[in-house]
Chain A
């Protein structure tokens, strides 16, 4: 309790010193820092390994991006590393969860219920939150420039910018084919388009080539929409156009659901990569043929790491789409003091919020060790878990435990610890809500 209070107090001091130049190059205020740390020595219940520590400046870590990965790494750097100052830089004042956002399309959740602010990271952990845009990163000097003009240097930078979408030929600036794959205005737009659709409408949902964010996500959305359409628009159809050769994950459940439960509603096409669209005629040209006159198109384009990764020259994997990293500490293979976590990195692990949270913890632990002159944990473990809606009231689950394999230097799924549920049920749907609440609290609270 005392420690939390202190952190809140200390952070408020720093925040009060806007425009936040405490970190700008080396003009940080030593006086304020020392004052803060001596308060810490009095109030903190944490053991102080060395009384002379207060004389020395803390290490600094800049985290860029306040999604699942970024929020978690910022929180855990402070929770586990009291001698580390952390600033989180994020464009928006809050995060909207992608997890559960397909339920906004069926009217089962509001977008507002998926909003997570950064107050807890500041108040409970002392993470300094800057709402700003990073314009430039110097990976060697470990320095960032912000749109506001501020420059910050640090001992480490953690990049967690999530994904960006490939442009789709013909789409232009049209809002008639939303992806709704980054929860927010596009999710609300797609929900409105679905609600306004006539009963005999044709909905098209496209699935991009792997790797994309949340492998089961498009399939669970298809199932959820099919169930909603059966109840609300029973004469409609859902065309699923998959750029991949087959269902990419949880194949048993999704095959059963597509062919059986939703067989009257869903038509599934594999190897149907979208090559061009025409929003004026609501047409899509794909490798499996051309589809005209769709009523609603949920166009999920191919994905790459957030633009900042390529701009910093770190998109050196997956044909220049994502960042290659050392999975012991998530350092870029090109810049040892720049770490890339979450969907923006190229690893053998899925791109999804639950595992991004664990990658963030491995990264935070490794940074804290590194700043203390120690090597990272040589055998990290991560896990992925999620629930997929198969109907509006039932769900399946998918889980995997990954262990570090020193031979290939990759995280490898343990076969015994990786599986999907056999079928789906209402209990899983109830548990999904508990899992989501816990995961978001572990990341943002």
Chain B
């Protein structure tokens, strides 16, 4: 009695997983956060606008963000913007942007 049931349950579970698999486009970490940069630096960090920020090393982008947030790059709009993020958020933004070319 039990064995066929288990098979049936497995079939349902597998079908369910497959169903999910069909549209499983799990957003990469940091992408949505980094999209806050796109309005000024272009979609995916490049394009018309301010400096291209795509494709630099994660350390380089993170260091720059920290400098802005610490006020070492003046008190302009980008400095204020950088001050709005937590340290882990800056790391996530930097590492996602570094994957873009």
Chain A contacts to B: CB under 8 angstroms: 49-50, 52-53, 56, 59, 76, 79-84, 354, 357-358, 361-362, 365, 368-369, 371-374, 377, 380-383, 385, 397, 399-403, 414, 416-419, 421-422, 431, 434-435, 437-439, 441-442, 445
Contacts and interface: CB of A to CB of B under 8 A. Distances in A.
Contacts of A417: 80-85
Given A56-B22, A401-B84, A358 B77 contact: no
B77 A438 contact: no
B22 A401 contact: no
B31 A50 contact: no
A381 B85 contact: yes
A377 B40 contact: no
Q: Tell me the interface secondary structure of chain A in the complex.
A: mixed
Interface in B36-79: 36, 38-43, 47-50, 75-77
Given A361-B38, A385-B81, A401-B36, 12 more contacts: A49-B21, A53-B21, A372-B26, A373-B23, A381-B85, A399-B80, A401-B81, A417-B83, A438-B40, A441-B47, A442-B38, A445-B47
Given A80-B31, A361-B32, A401-B85, A373 B20 contact: yes
Contacts of B38: 361, 442
B5 interface: no
Contacts of A383: 36, 39, 81, 84
Contacts of B32: 361-362, 365, 377, 380
14 contacts: A52-B22, A80-B31, A358-B39, A361-B35, A381-B84, A383-B39, A385-B77, A397-B76, A402-B84, A403-B84, A416-B83, A435-B50, A438-B47, A442-B39
A441 B41 CA distance: 10
Contact of B35 (A83, A358, A438): A358
B26 to A, nearest CB: 7
A59 B23 contact: yes
A441 B48 contact: yes
A348 to B, nearest CB: 15
Contacts of B26: 369, 372, 374
Contact of A438 (B25, B33, B41, B89): B41
Contact of A372 (B23, B76, B82): B23
Nearest to B80: A419
Contacts of A445: 43, 47
A372 B24 contact: yes
A422 B75 CA distance: 9
Interface of B: 18-27, 31-33, 35-36, 38-43, 47-50, 75-77, 80-85, 89
Q: Tell me the interface secondary structure of chain B in the complex.
A: helix
B71 to A, nearest CB: 10
Nearest to B82: A417
The winner among B26, B35, B50, B76 for most chain A CB atoms within 10 A is: B35
8 closest pairs, A vs B, by CB? A417-B84, A401-B84, A438-B49, A416-B83, A50-B21, A414-B84, A417-B83, A361-B35
A438 B41 CA distance: 7
A280 B32 CA distance: 52
Nearest to B20: A373
Nearest to A414: B84
Contacts of B18: 50, 52
The winner among B32, B82, B89 for most chain A CB atoms within 10 A is: B32
B20 A438 contact: no
A419 B82 CA distance: 12
A50 B35 contact: no
A418 B84 contact: yes
A220 to B, nearest CB: 16
Contacts of A50: 18, 21-22, 24
A445 B41 CA distance: 13
A81 B25 contact: yes
A83 B31 contact: no
A434 B49 contact: yes
The winner among B19, B20, B49 for most chain A CB atoms within 10 A is: B49
A80 B30 CA distance: 13
B64 to A, nearest CB: 16
A121 to B, nearest CB: 12
B40 A439 contact: yes
A55 to B, nearest CB: 8
A365 B34 CA distance: 12
A369 B27 CA distance: 7
B52 to A, nearest CB: 11
A399 B85 CA distance: 13
A79 B38 CA distance: 13
A369 B38 CA distance: 21
A401 B84 CA distance: 5
A403 B21 CA distance: 31
B36 A381 contact: yes
A435 B81 CA distance: 14
Nearest to A76: B35
